[in-house]
Amino acid sequence: MGTDMFGYVEARWDRWWDEDDREWHMAIDTMHLYNGRSYLAFGCLFGVRDNTFRPLAADRGLPPDASEEVRAQFGDGRYGDSWITWAELSATDWDEPATEVDDCVLEYRRDAEGAWEMYGRNTNLTRFAELSGITDPRALHRAGRSHPEGTEWHDGDRLFRIGRLRRKDAVDSEWEPIWSVMRTLAAIHGDDAVRLVAGFG
């Protein structure tokens, strides 16, 4: 059975002269922004379903000062509940490599400046099989287990490589709508006054 994330972006207005405005309020339900099921991303951010990366914010539980709207959505007996602020996300080194070599072969393509940019994992396996000579389907899907890190197969403006993902490869463009909302709110409220609260089920 798969695991899905449900989440909420919260914000707090830290105007020191009005204590009531220091409470957290739900800004948006992430179901309007993200409906993916990337275990790599869940693990990278919250340590759920994947340990490729050291998680940024694992097992923090529901914030004790969570908004009433958010608190009402979280039931008892859940696992993986956690949260992370925009300040923490902004300070993250998104080029940090994974703790281990990826099982999949990574495909890179040239960007506008001619540098190699990751395109995907286990993409174009038919062409990769031709280049690598791997015929067993299981070995093809897990080439990172049978070839040393750094092994490369060049194919014109495309490159297949055994290597490690970076954090930004795990949390891909599907997450940009969430980041965009958080970034916008942080410009108004401050980086520490915007957070993503997430649960899994």
- DSSP letter string over 65-82? T--HHHHTT--TT-EEEE
Q: Give the confidence band of 131 by pLDDT, cuts at 50, 70, 90.
A: very high
SS3 per-residue string spanning 23-42: CEEEEEEHHHCCCCCCHHHH
pTM of the model: 0.89
Q: Calculate mean pLDDT across residues 32-54.
A: 94
Element (H or E) spanning 198, and its range?
strand 194-200
Tell me what the mean pLDDT of segment 13-34 comes to: 81
**Per-residue model confidence (pLDDT) at position 28:** 97
